[in-house]
Amino acid sequence: MQAKHGHNAQWRMTTSSDADDHAHNLSRWVQEYNQFSAGTFVGQITELWLPHTQLFLESTNQVLHQSCAAWSKALWFGIPVSRTDGARMGTTQIPEHSIAFKQGGTQFELFTPADFDIIGIVIDEDVFARYLQEVEHTDSSQITRKQGVMAVSPQAKVEVCGALIHMLKANQVVDGVHRHASMHAPPYHSFEDRILSYLAPLLYTGITPAASTPRHVNRHRIVERARDIVLGAPTESISIPELCRALHVSRRTLQYCFQDVVGMAPLNYLRILKLNQVRRDLRTGSTQRNPVTQAALSWGFYHLGQFSADYRKLFGEVPSHTVTQASTP
């Protein structure tokens, strides 16, 4: 859903019981989420839309691997609210007292732990530059060149999170229903100035952490290549020896790469990745006759009993229930 732009602030709250549906609930982002911990997914997004700015609070209860891209000609700032154990943007760890920052229109990966809350700010890059020029009397390039993950003052971060969440919670609505700001609310440009006035001081004091080591970057690249190989041949049951030959690495190296990057063994990670693809197919109705069987076979799950058990363990429901829910108006 694309949020409306106008002269008034608009609020929206959405909830979802599916990770990929949740990803699509964030307006004007291009995203795909894969669930990597077992249990029913619960996600919530509260958004505040302004003419040039999107402010949101995103809450998720399961471990997720996310492929994300904010809208183009904008800047995204992600401020974790909860503990960030295991959280990463690409190959870079996201400490608890930090801000993640990425250019809009550029795809990036987020790895987020269970019970994770994050505040997102997406702002038109020209508006951002103009604010810094007119109010802070500085060039925005001093900040934009820090793109990545920045460590910030713990106390300042807590204060900023509290102020931004208050802005969201004070005017939230439920189930996608929009409400215009009341006539007594500040004009939209005041909201945008307030958001930037909270954000800018954090960015000035932010310190970019040391870059990932070449070894970690290489391990991340090997995991990406393995994922591409498996998703590129969905009906095949690709073995560890076959992956080792294709990637020109030893079995031990492959194990180390996956354990370091995604925290699990290669086959376990790739099986969960394919189960997410099956769920995506079942929810979109891309398979018609015998949908569960066809979706399972199309992703290389030939032992249907084991597939059903694995699916239920991961998503908290049997595959047929996913089909029924997807077809219910």
- 202 pLDDT band (50/70/90 cuts)? confident
Tokens standing for 63?
């471990």
Q: What angle do CA 91, 96, 102 make, to 5 degrees?
A: 50
Give the residue, 189 or 52, on which the prediction is more confident: 52
DSSP 195-226: HHHHHHHHHHH-BPPPPPPHHHHHHHHHHHHH
- Is residue 318 within 8 A of residue 311, CB to CB? The reply is yes
Q: In what order do the strands lie in the sheet with 53-60?
A: 148-151, 98-103, 74-80, 116-124, 53-60, 43-49, 10-16, 179-180
Residue 176 pLDDT? 43
Tokens standing for 27?
């307006």
Among 74, 57, 67, smallest CA distance to 120 is for 57
Residue 230 pLDDT? 95
Residue 141 pLDDT? 81
Q: What is the pairing mode between strands 179-180 and 10-16?
A: antiparallel
Give per-residue pLDDT as tens, 40-89.
Answer: 999 999 999 999 999 999 999 999 999 999 999 999 999 999 889 989 99
Task: Give the residue-averaged pLDDT of 292-314.
Answer: 96
- 211 pLDDT band (50/70/90 cuts)? low
Tokens standing for 306?
């084991």
Among 154, 145, 155, smallest CA distance to 95 is for 154
Please state, for a pLDDT cut of 90, what percent of the chain lies above it: 67
Give the residue, 275 or 9, on which the prediction is more confident: 275
- Cα–Cα distance, 104 to 1 (Å, whole number): 18
207-211, 212-216, 312-316 — most confident range: 312-316
Task: Name 37's Cβ contacts closer than 8 Å, sequence gap at least 6.
Answer: 62, 63, 114
DSSP state of 135: I
Task: Name 111's Cβ contacts closer than 8 Å, sequence gap at least 6.
Answer: 64, 65, 66, 86, 87, 88, 89, 262
Buried b (16+ CB within 10 A) or exposed e, 17-35: ebbbbbbbbbbbbebbbbb
Of 5-14, 79-88, 234-243, 298-307, minimum mean pLDDT range: 5-14
Residue 270 pLDDT? 95
| CATH 3.40.50.970 is the classification of domain 10-205 | no
pTM listed for this prediction: 0.87
Residue 6 pLDDT? 41
Residue 174 pLDDT? 42
Q: Any idea where the domains of the chain sit in the sequence?
A: 10-205, 214-327
Task: Give the residue-averaged pLDDT of 263-275.
Answer: 95
Among 107, 117, 22, 113, smallest CA distance to 71 is for 107
Residue ranges in 154-290 assigned as alpha helix (H): 154-169, 188-205, 214-232, 240-247, 251-261, 266-284
Give per-residue pLDDT as tens, 138-148.
Answer: 888 877 777 88
CATH number assigned to the domain covering 214-327: 1.10.10.60
- Cα–Cα distance, 200 to 203 (Å, whole number): 5
